Chain A
Amino acid sequence: MQFWLIQTLNSVAFGGLLFLLSSGFSLIFGLMRMPNLAHGAFFMLGAYFGASFLAWGINFWLAALLSGLAVGALGLIMERGLLRRLAGNGQGQVLVTLGISFIIADVCLMVWTGDPVPVPAPQGLRAPTFFIGYAFPTYRLVVLGVAILAAIALHVLMERTRLGAMIRAGVDDMEMARGVGIPVSRLFMLVFLLGAALAGLGGTIGGPIMSAYPGLDADMLPLALVVVILGGVGSLAGAFVGSFIVGFIYNFGTALFPDFAYVILFLPMVLVLVLMPQGLFAGAAR
């Protein structure tokens, strides 16, 4: 019983992490019609930044925020400096993000070397929490809490602010959005910044669970893709639900069918893509 409960909690926590990773990815994909192949690298960078900030004695939550800002800034530079110049060339943009992911991955390897860097959880959250007679890793509960907070914040952003309305409009119908005067290129910049920041934040938050290691980017990116395909491109609700589904599939799959964990994970994605009649961009940002 303990096993199932722990796995469930792990799945839920992982799902929360995935949400931090995929929400930004989904927004970028939905608005800019481009899968940001550097998104896994953003997450990894966030984990490494977090590790370093913590090593310098900075408070965990502050470190997470700083990581988010740092990665967000990087995303901003990337969007303005590179992606903007390839406007209209979707293929080129995807390839540039791929190239950037190579660069980020290698720079991380250079700076932090090849050994995994631990990201210690905040002192107060290391002891297990006891609930109905079982011990649960407290930090994972907190991760879930953070993810839910982020989801609420994003929901408010999307539904109750002007910026959110503009993003939703852009995801729904880009031509129309341009036509009614929405400053699309500024929107791209903001969304990319936001997405990168979320990934960076997620990297630090996820640090205590996953630690920072070379290859984290390549491990996380495909998961973000699965979430977004299952949940619908550009849909926050879809990213939320999809993240938990994938979290469960990943954890239970790895635990129960270790040989075929990846098949279980990616086959649904393939099936959705193959059987989808309406194409990728049917969802709206909600």
Chain B
Amino acid sequence: MNRPLLACLIALVLLVVLPHLGMGDYYINLFSQILIFALFAASVNLIVGYGGMISLGHAAYLGIAAYSCTWLVTHGYGQLTAALGALMLTTLVAAVFGMLALRATGLSFLMITLALGQIVWGLAYRWVALTNGDNGMALPARPAPFGISLNGATSFYYFALLVFACAIFCIWRMVHSPFGAALKGARDQPRRMSMLGHDVWMIRWLAFILSGFWAGVAGLLFIYYQKFVSPYALSLQQSAEVLLMTILGGAGTLSGPVVGAVIVTLVKNVASSYVERWNALLGLIFVVAVMFMPHGIVPGLVQWRRAATRRKAKAVGLVPPTAEPPRADTPRPAPDAKLERSA
């Protein structure tokens, strides 16, 4: 059994056992929030980390799913219908926006996504007849899948955990699939990939759509948890925050966005009792991370451990293990080396 798999299993066991460790509802809810934003960050990561395209408008997908689900439920549709309808709408919007944004790369792509995000936010903010504007919309009740109530902190947590685990599993499979390899290849050498027969635009567009879909799933979890959505959920700040999570933790790795989400959510909720202004703290952590661990915390830690192992081996006079070659320091996100080993 290799290291990453073991780590995942341990994490999973801990997560399942969590609510029974005697902490109050406040903390269980906190973990629910972490799961929601970890999924959101993971969805952004498909584009930013594995696709290599920085997007500043992803909150739009979270928000569209949350708002449309709420709208459908308050207009008499069943929870399941509302959820499916919301996901379909979100995915459709992602497809259309992707077509627009992918006319460009790099900075232009960033700005198109930002502008599209602002358009959606503007609609939520201004089209009061539809969205209730700044007052937001309230979801009457959480769904009760198979009759099981999700009102309790613990039951909702398990629901979120289940959805999160399924989603991460799907994303994990995608990352290690031929499509995932093509996506990463298109990130690293797009011209080369074209010349090898890969349709780079299509690869990116499909990744964009998948990314929007998973962000929509996160949006559903979000609205079920909060039972309330306001234009803030679609704002530039929200898009920036989730981008921060992804990059802080390590774009282009599977665990990175999760780590990022953990850090940011903890800072927001826990540190705010000690430090008055958590946003500033967040910004500071981000700046430090970008300056000193540009690939993010997870790859940064991996590299430190590697360097430490090599130093130790050299000191003892052992030949360094052949599986640990020096890594070229590029400003591009690095693929998850730990998981690559098992190939």
Q: Do chains A and B touch in the complex (CB under 8 A)?
A: yes
A96 to B121, CA, bound (A): 24
A259 touching B290 by the CB < 8 A rule?
no
| Chain B contacts with A in 92-113, Cβ cutoff 8 A | 100, 103-104, 107-108, 110-112
Point out the residue from A82, A218, A261, A266 that lies within 8 Å of B237, measured CB to CB: A218
Chain B residues lying within 8 Å of A109, measured Cβ to Cβ, are 277, 279
Query: How does the 8 Å CB contact mask read for A22-41 relative to B, with 1 for contact and 0 for none?
Result: 00000000000101000000
Expressed in whole angstroms, the Cα–Cα distance for A273 and B99 within the complex equals 12
Min CB gap A41→B, angstroms:
10
Residues from chain B with a CB closer than 8 A to the CB of A225 are 111, 114-115
B68-116: which have CB < 8 Å to A? 100, 103-104, 107-108, 110-112, 114-116
Within 8 A of B (CB), among A94-135: 94-96, 98-103, 105-107, 109-110
Beyond A222-B115, A262-B121, A270-B119, is A107–B277 a contact (Cβ under 8 Å)? Answer: yes
Q: Is A91 an interface residue (CB 8 A)?
A: yes
Contact for B123 among A103, A260, A275, CB less than 8 A: A260
Contact of A101 among B111, B119, B128, B283 (CB under 8 A): B283
**A276 neighbours in B (Cβ, 8 Å):** 104, 108
Question: In the bound complex, do residue B126 and residue A222 qualify as a contact, i.e. CB atoms below 8 Å apart?
Answer: no
Interface string of B221-258 (1 = CB under 8 A from A): 00000000000000111001001100100000000000
Cβ A261 vs Cβ B122 within 8 A? yes
Let me know if A6 is at the binding interface, CB within 8 A: no
Whose C-beta in chain A lies nearest to the C-beta of B282? Answer: A102
CB distance from A215 to the nearest CB of B (A): 8
Q: B118: which A residues are within 8 A, CB to CB?
A: 222, 262, 265-266
* Cβ contact within 8 Å between A261 and B115: no
For chain B, what secondary structure do more than half of its interface residues adopt (helix, strand, loop), or is it mixed? Answer: helix
Q: B279, A259: Cβ atoms under 8 Å? A: no
How many residues in B have their beta carbons less than 8 Å from beta carbons of A? 43
Shortest distance from the beta carbon of B274 to any chain A beta carbon, whole Å: 14
Q: Is the CB of B291 within 8 A of A262?
A: no
Q: Determine the distance from Cα of A103 to Cα of B277 in the docked complex, in whole angstroms.
A: 9
Report yes or no: B331 in contact with A92, Cβ–Cβ below 8 A.
yes
Counted as pairs of residues, one from A and one from B, with CB atoms less than 8 Å apart, the total is 134
Hey, what's the 0/1 contact readout for A63-99 against B, CB within 8 Å counting as 1?
0000000000000000000100110111110111011
Minimal beta-carbon separation of B48 from chain A (angstroms): 10
B287 with A82: CB separation less than 8 A: yes
Partner of A110, one of B112, B123, B277: B277
- Contact call B247/A262, Cβ cutoff below 8 A: no
Q: Which of A89, A94, A102, A229 contacts B279 (CB 8 A)?
A: A102
Choose from B104, B125, B244, B277 the contact partner of A106 (Cβ within 8 Å).
B277
Interface status of A20 (Cβ within 8 A of chain B): no
Question: Do A270 and B112 contact each other (CB < 8 Å), given the known contacts A89-B331, A101-B283?
Answer: yes
Does A189 belong to the interface (CB within 8 Å)? Answer: no
Q: Are A95 and B286 in contact (CB under 8 A)?
A: yes
Contacts of A258 in B (CB 8 A): 126
- The residue among A88, A90, A91 with the most chain B CB atoms within 10 A of its own CB is A91
**In the complex, what residues of B have CB within 8 A of residue A106's CB?**
277-280, 283
Query: Across the interface, do B284 and A35 meet the contact criterion of CB distance under 8 Å?
Result: no
Count of A residues near B, CB < 8 Å? 47
Chain A CB within 8 A of B129 CB = yes
Min CB distance A42 to B, Å, is 14
**B290 to A92, Cβ gap below 8 A?**
yes
Taking the complex as formed, is B127 at the interface, i.e. its CB lies under 8 A from any CB of chain A?
A: yes
CA distance A106 to B128 in the complex (A): 29
Tell me how far the C-beta of A86 lies from the nearest C-beta in chain B, rounded to whole angstroms. 7
In the assembly, what is the distance between CA of A229 and CA of B237, in Å?
21
B54 within 8 A of A: yes
A270-B100 contact in complex given A95-B247, A103-B280, A106-B277, C-beta closer than 8 Å: yes
Task: Note all chain B residues with C-beta closer than 8 A to A275.
Answer: 103
A279 within 8 A of partner (CB): yes
Contact partners of A100 in chain B: CB under 8 A: 283, 287
CA–CA, A274 and B116, complex, Å: 12
CB under 8 Å from chain A, chain B span 266-312: 276-280, 282-284, 286-287, 290-291, 294
- Are the CB atoms of B127 and A273 closer together than 8 Å? no
- Pairwise interchain contact B277-A261, C-beta atoms closer than 8 A: no
Do residues B129 and A259 form an inter-chain contact, with CB atoms below 8 A? yes
Residue A148 is within 8 A (CB to CB) of chain B in the complex: no
List 19 contacting pairs A-B, 8 Å CB cutoff, sorted by A.
A35-B107, A89-B294, A96-B287, A102-B244, A105-B279, A106-B283, A218-B236, A259-B127, A260-B123, A262-B118, A262-B119, A262-B126, A263-B123, A265-B122, A270-B119, A273-B103, A273-B112, A274-B100, A275-B103
Beyond A95-B286, A98-B286, 5 extra complex contacts between A and B, CB < 8 Å: A33-B107, A100-B283, A106-B277, A110-B277, A266-B122
- The 5 A-B pairs at the shortest CB distance, nearest first, are namely A262-B122, A102-B283, A106-B280, A103-B283, A106-B279
